[in-house]
Each structure stands twice: as structure tokens, then as C-alpha cells.
Amino acid sequence: MRFFIPFLFATSVIAQIGPNYERPETVTPAGYKGAVNWREARPLDTLPKGAWWRVFGDARLNSLMEMATANNQTLKASVARFDQARAGTGLARAAFFPTADINSAFTTQRTSPNMPSAFPLNGLHYVGPSYTVPLDFSWELDLWGKIRRQNESARADAAAAANQMQNVLLGVHADVATNYFRIRALDGELATVRAAVGWRRQALDIARARVKAGAGSELEQAQAETEVASAEAEVGALQNQRDQLENAIALLTGTNPSAFKMGGNPSQLPSPPVVPAGVPTDLLERRPDVAAAERTLASTTAQIGVTKANFFPSIRLTGRTGYLSGDVEKLFEMGSMNWNIGPSITVPLFAGGKNRAYMERARAAHDEALANYRQAILASFNDVENALAAMRNLSNQTEAQHRARASAQQAAKIAHARYEAGTSPYLDVIEANRSLLTTERACATLAGQRLIASVSLVKALGGGWDQNLPVTVPAITPDPEAMGSTAPKKGFFTKVKGWFKKD
């Protein structure tokens, strides 16, 4: 026995069943549909991403981002899932160490006179108390690397949970920015339509005066009234969209919609930030969803080794020492001490195919994780392509729309002048004003869409492109009812009292 234990320990350090994880190679295109070259994607989620929204220079947006980080309930749930995974690594690590328990027992018993004995009992038996205070010891030797594989899997799961938490954080920030810029674009449209209501009412007043003076027709007055009512209806429709977006931001920031209000801001939207050259190749690899998929693949690879180890014998060192007596006064005397120690070997002989089914399931889970990882890579390429295409096409569309607005403004001036001179019907004024309103609203919408496209690119790249900014850590506000690590710590006696509280 003296030489057996060191041999087992040395063997457990060397042997390890199952495949070692290697990151799979990915086949990527030679480049974007534009300019930047690709390279093989590798999760670099440890690189700093920073508070990317500050590039827009909007104080109100910065404040909303802070509120969302502190109070978003989906993010809090994601942080709690990460805490669970992190605790799981502690559970897996504990399997490396022996366990020891004291299982005291105080019983009254009657022994059997027919129990096996080295000498005849002749009907003798014992009736009375039995006091035992044993210390049970157990330690499983990691002979085939099963426990190490379990630790690999648990650490990979914790890393995947951390990346998923960052992905939720990135998604929440992107949704806040997207809805915010939609509201800003709607504010611009509302300002344009409300201005249109004002000058259409002026036109209606002029039409009524002309009819009263006998210089105009009732048809012109009816047309002017229609234009006013149509513009007022547009205000209601746009305000409905704005209210819904405002409620969506309230939900993202963890605020009751009835207590959340965003004032209007019809000022001109800022220009989208310029994307530095080489961004996709440098930062696409930082996407947290890609990193999470890769870590999940590593975890499932380790699980194959765990299930494969079930086919091999397991060796556990067990021992017990303590005191056993029928008299409580003699319980802790040296004569009442007993002990035993030795290895326990379990050899799997027949399990009805259970172990093989476990391994097949682990291999299938690995294949699923591999497919999900490759899909995450493809999805990241697709998202960046879509965002870059949107930014490029919206820029061209905005330039053309600004030319259209300038032409519509000129056409509206000419139509008004001709109508006042009596050389053109009022219908020409209506058409010119409608075209002007449409182009002005389109310009406001495009300004918002360009900013939203830049947010989509930030999200597609894993969060920002300034690698000098610090890592964004979700400093959430603890829930008073939470019982996890984010809640205030309670003392020992307070916890004990809580165990006996009635539900």
C-alpha cells in the first residue's frame, strides 16, 4: 500500500482520456465586396471595446447608456447566468480534493443473535444505545483525466457565459442607440410636418379670404382644408411611432414607461463617424457571440473525454476513523476508537448501453457546437457586409435626396409665385408643397438611418473600433430582493434565522 498510492498519483497526472481541444480552421473569403482584406477569424474577445457610443458626441445618449447598463433586467439575468457558470467552475475544481464528513449517530439498537460471528453467540444479543462519531474520508483519483476534463468543460462554460453576457450588453447598447436615433429622426420629421401644418393653415386662410373676396373658388378652399387635415393626421401617426420607441427605450433602461419621458430634439443629427481603414480585419474577431460559440465548442470537446472515462475503472481512496461505544461516558476514550482505510475500485461491467449513449450524445453535442461556431463566423461576415453596404448606399442616397430637396424648394417657390400672380392653379401649389414635404421628411429619415447603420457596424464588429478605450464592464445596480453575489452580504446568524422563516 505504501508504494501503491504514489504510483496511482503519478499515473493520474499522466493519463487523460479524450480529445484535446484545437480551434477549428475557418474558410473565409478573400475580402469584402469593397476593399478590406480578410484573415482567419480568431476570437479576440479580450481586446478592449470601450464606450463606443461616445463617438457620436450626444450627452443624452450617454446618459441612456448608463441607465441601460445599470438597470436593464435582461442584462442582470445574463450577469446572474455568468455567476452560475463561475460557481460551476468551483464545483468542478472541488472534485480534485478529498472530502471529509462527520456523520454522528446516536441510536438504540438490538443486535441479531444469528448474525455471522467467529464464535458461537448462543442466543446472545445486545439491546441498548449506540454512540458513534466517525470521520469519513473519500478521494477519487483522477486516473484517466475525467476530473480534469470536467474542469476544462466548466472553465469553457464560464468563459462562454462571460462572452454571452458581453453579447447581451452589446445588444442592449445597440438597441438603445438604434431607438434613440430613430426618435431623433422622427423629431426632425415632426418638426417638418408641424411646420407644414402651419403654412398650410396660412394657405387655407388665404384661400378663404380669396373666396370671400370673390377672387377664388370653393374648390381651392376645400383642397387647402384637405391639405391641413392630412398634415395633422401625419403628425398623429409620427407621434404614435415616437411614443412606442420611447416606451422601448424605457424598457431597455429598466424604467417604467409611465415614468419615462424624452423631450423632443428637432436639431440636425450629427454625421456618422468615419470608419478607420482595416477595421473589419482587426475587430471582427472580437465579437462576443463568436467567442461564446468557440468556448462552447471547447466545453463540448472536453465532455467527450468525460463520457469516455466512464468506460474505465475508477479508484477511490476511502477511510473512516472515529469513536464507537455503547456508553456515552466512554465514547471518546482511546479504547472506543476504530478506523479503516483502503482503496475502492469500481469496474464498469454492464450498464445497458448507458455509457455508450452518453458518449454518443457528447459527440453529437460537439458536432452541434461546431456547426454553431461556423454559423457564428458566417453571420459575423454577413452582418459586417450588410452594415458596410448600408452605410455606402445610404450615403449616396442622402446626397441624391439633398439635391431633390433643393429642387423641391425651388419648385415650391415658383408654384407659389405663379399662383399669387394668377397664372397657375392652386393644384400646382399643392403638388409642389407635397413634393417638398416628402423630400424634407426623407432627408430626416436618411440622417437617422445612416447613424443606425453605423451602430449596426459597431455591433457587427463586436463593439467599437477604438482599441485604446477601456473595457466596458456591466456595473449593474443590485436588486434589493436578489440573493446572489450582487446583494448585500448577510451575517451568519441572520442567515441561520432565514433558514427557519416560514414561506
pLDDT at 116: 86
Task: Grade residue 29 by pLDDT with cuts at 50, 70 and 90.
Answer: low
Q: Work out the percent of the chain whose per-residue pLDDT is above 70.
A: 84
Cell of 218: 370653393
* Cα–Cα dist 187/195, whole Å: 12
DSSP string, 381-415: HHHHHHHHHHHHHHHHHHHHHHHHHHHHHHHHHHH
Q: How open is the CA angle 453-457-463, to the nearest 5 degrees? A: 130
For residues 380 and 371, what is the distance between their CA atoms, to the nearest angstrom? Answer: 14
pLDDT at 73: 93
Residue 15 has what pLDDT?
65
- Please tell me the predicted confidence (pLDDT) of residue 35: 43
Output the pLDDT for position 8.
43
Of 267, 263, 246, which Cα lies nearest the Cα of 182? Answer: 246
> Which set of grid coordinates corresponds to residue 207?
384661400
User: What ranges in 107-262 are assigned the alpha helix state H?
Assistant: 146-213, 218-252
Entry field: residues in the chain: 503
CA distance 374 to 381: 11
- Residue 7: its pLDDT value, please? 42
268 close to 50: Cβ distance less than 8 angstroms: no
* Residues 168 and 78 sit within 8 Å (Cβ to Cβ): yes
Q: Kindly report which listed range (361-365, 380-384, 451-455) carries the lowest average pLDDT score.
A: 380-384
pLDDT of residue 49: 63
Please tell me the distance from the alpha carbon of residue 231 to that of residue 236, in angstroms, as a whole number: 9
Q: Between residues 494 and 229, which one has the greater pLDDT?
A: 229
Residue 455: CB atoms within 10 Å: 22
- Is residue 177 pLDDT above 50, yes or no? yes
Q: Give the pLDDT of residue 12.
A: 46
Block residue for cell numbers 480585419: 281
Q: Which of 444, 447, 449, 450 is nearest to 189 (CA)?
A: 444
pLDDT at 466: 55
C-alpha distances in Å from residue 371, one per residue of 237, 269, 484: 44, 41, 34
Residue 499 in this model has a pLDDT that exceeds 70: no
d(CA 58, CA 451): 12
Res 37: pLDDT:
47
Q: Specify the pLDDT at position 229.
A: 92
pLDDT at 52 > cutoff 90? no
How many Å is the maximal CA-CA distance in the chain?
Answer: 136
C-alpha cell at 114: 444469528
Task: Over range 455-471, report the average pLDDT.
Answer: 69
Q: What is the pLDDT of residue 460?
A: 87
The residue with cell 443473535 is 113
Residue 383 has pLDDT above 60, yes or no: yes
DSSP H helices, 253-318, are 279-283, 288-308
pLDDT over threshold 50, residue 360: yes
Residue 20 DSSP symbol: P
Nearest CA to 464 out of 202, 108, 76, 173 is that of: 173
pLDDT band at 3 (very low <50, low <70, confident <90, very high): very low
% of residues, the chain, pLDDT over 90: 36
As a whole number of angstroms, the distance between CA 90 and CA 157 comes to: 12
Question: Residue 284 has what pLDDT?
Answer: 60
Average pLDDT across the chain, whole number: 83
Report the alpha-carbon angle 162-163-166, nearest 5. 90
pLDDT band at residue 361, thresholds of 50, 70 and 90? Answer: very high
Question: What's the average model confidence in pLDDT over 358-382?
Answer: 92
Least confident of 35-39, 74-78, 499-503: 35-39
pLDDT at 13 over 70: no
- At residue 176 the predicted structure's pLDDT band, cuts being 50, 70 and 90, is very high
CA 30 from centre of chain: 30
Element (H, E) at 106: strand 105-110
Residue 199 pLDDT level (bands cut at 50, 70, 90):
confident
CA distance 33 to 14: 50
Distance (Å, whole) CA 128 – CA 403: 104
**Minimum mean pLDDT range among 217-231, 309-323, 455-469:** 455-469
φ, ψ of residue 349 in degrees (nearest 5): -110, -50
Angle at 356 between CA 351 and CA 359, to 5 degrees: 135
Query: Which domains are assigned to the chain?
Result: 4-28+44-96+142-178+192-258+293-312+348-499 (1.20.1600.10)
Does the structure show a pLDDT above 60 at 173?
yes
> What residues pair up with 165 in beta bridges, in sequence order?
none
Q: Which three cell numbers stand for residue 349?
A: 461491467
Region 90-117: mean pLDDT is: 89
How many C-beta atoms lie closer than 10 Å to residue 395's C-beta?
Answer: 14
Q: How far separated are the first and last CA of the chain, in Å rounded?
A: 53
User: What DSSP string runs through 462-501?
Assistant: TS-S-TTSPPP---PPPPTT--STTSPP--HHHHHHHHT-
Q: What is the pLDDT of residue 350?
A: 87
With contact defined as beta carbons under 8 Å apart, do 56 and 273 qualify?
yes
pLDDT in tens, 121-164: 888 888 888 888 888 989 998 888 899 999 999 999 998 998 89
Q: What pLDDT does 23 receive?
A: 81
Query: Could you tell me the pLDDT band of residue 470, with boundaries at 50, 70 and 90?
Result: very low
pLDDT bucket at 332, cuts 50 / 70 / 90: confident
Q: What is the C-alpha separation between 489 and 466, in angstroms, rounded? A: 38
Q: d(Cα 123, Cα 115) in Å, to the nearest integer? A: 10
Higher-confidence residue of 499 and 435: namely: 435
The reported pLDDT for the residue numbered 462 is 83
pLDDT bucket at 301, cuts 50 / 70 / 90: very high
182: pLDDT strictly greater than 80:
yes
18 touches 304 (CB < 8 A): yes
For residue 283, how many other CB atoms are within 10 A of its CB?
Answer: 23
